[in-house]
Structure 1
Amino acid sequence: MTATLPLLYDHGRGVTTRLIAETAGVAEGTIFRVFASKDELIDATVRKAFEPGQMQRDLAAIPDDASLHDRALALVTVMQRRFAKSFLLLQRLGMTGPPEPPEQKGEWARRVEATTQAMVDLLSPFQDELTQPAALVVRSLRLLTFSGTHPKFTGGDLLTAEQIVDLVLYGAVRRPAATPEETH
């Protein structure tokens, strides 16, 4: 599956088992000792690509001493990478959405929730600086990152991580300066 994933980005479902075997450094017949068909291998590879977990490892690499802005920027960058790869894979395979979670849906849901919680935990130390709960800020970052990273939603004019973070953390409108009466 490790050898198959990069090939799917280039060849989609048209990838041959011969090319997969060459890339993996195994005999073509070896593939069929593990998978009944090329489609079964591709489906397993796609499920693995959408599996939650890698994002948590990426988030754990963000320095503990990073500022709120830098943490949000790193979070959006991680999400953009994941979304962009997912969108490309779906497009190459002619899929309209990610695969259904495997049979152990409870475990999948637990891992998705753990990833979401890791995102919230990343911003929670700055709750006093936020006007909204950290969970809502994360949700807003996710939604804007998802739509701002999708080529069809943006007409090809993708949002940068900096634009997404600035919009969510600081808004789009300058607040009018407070009058002396309003400050008391």
Structure 2
Amino acid sequence: MSPRAPAMAPDARREALVDVTLRLMREHGSNVTTKQIAEAAGVAEGTIFRVVDTKDELLEAAVQRAFEPGDLVQRIEEIDADLPLEQRLLSLVAILQQRFRATFSLMRKVGLVRPPDHVHDDPAAAQWRARLRLLLHGVVGADADRLACPVDEFVHTLRLLTFAGSHEHIADGHLLSPEQIVSTVLHGLLRPVDQKDH
């Protein structure tokens, strides 16, 4: 049994339980029990129902938490701006792939075929998407002048290919590596033309 958790205010306890529930749902899906949650959180099972009315409410809050930015902003901001563009993009794609794959895995575990409505409809979600777009622009940085298209189109294409190449079904079981994604976006799929061919 886990050690007893320290006393917390109800809101803080709820947040802690949501985090624990999300971690367990990644393993057990919606079949996770309140007993498992309580043990992992180090609380009595009854404590759960002092901060939520039902198990379903807790599961729903955990799924919503999965679609929040979490540490994604910090991880993208930590990409070294002094690296060459290709290296920066490899770091970015690796971060995005980890996020996408964790999200896809959770959705399979809980039987979601699409993200919850709040991911698209909530004003906070719209603000987050706008923030993410600016973060991606920041990774490209001054190299935006080297692109053959507007930076917005470039990061949109990079995200779409990363999304599709990270999804088992969309990629038909052939997931793309960060190297494949970045090379495709930067250089395409044609062999370089030898100088002697000109």
Could you state the TM-score of these two structures normalised by the residue count of structure 1?
0.91
Gaps of 5+ in 1: none
Report the residue type matching 2:55 in the other structure. Answer: K
Q: Secondary structure at the match of 1:150?
A: coil
Q: Secondary structure at the match of 1:98?
A: coil
| TM alignment of 1:124-163, pairs within 5 A | 124-163=141-180
> Which of 73, 78, 89 in structure 2 is aligned with 1:56?
73
Residue equivalent to 2:130: 113
State percent identity of aligned pairs.
40
Gaps of 5+ in 2: 1-17
Report the residue type matching 2:129 in the other structure. Answer: V
Structure 2 residue 74 is matched with structure 1 residue 86 = no
Q: With CA pairs under 8 Å and 6+ residues apart, which has the higher RCO, 1 or 2? A: 1
Contact 1:3–1:24 (CA under 8 A) maintained in structure 2: yes
- The 2-side partners of 1:132 and 1:175 are apart by 20
> Which of 27, 34, 39 in structure 1 is aligned with 2:44?
27
> 1:52, CA displacement in angstroms?
2.8
Structure 2 residue 52 is matched with structure 1 residue 43 = no
Q: How many residues align?
A: 180
Residue equivalent to 2:6: none
Could you state the TM-score of these two structures normalised by the residue count of structure 2?
0.85
Q: Secondary structure at the match of 1:52?
A: coil
> 1:177, CA displacement in angstroms?
5.1
> 1:129, CA displacement in angstroms?
2.0
Q: RMSD across aligned C-alpha pairs, in angstroms?
A: 1.9
Residue equivalent to 1:8: 25
Q: Secondary structure at the match of 1:70?
A: helix
- The 1-side partners of 2:58 and 2:142 are apart by 42
- The 1-side partners of 2:148 and 2:141 are apart by 12
- The 2-side partners of 1:115 and 1:105 are apart by 15
> Which of 91, 99, 103 in structure 1 is aligned with 2:116?
99
- The 1-side partners of 2:40 and 2:81 are apart by 38
Residue equivalent to 1:123: 140
- The 2-side partners of 1:167 and 1:43 are apart by 37
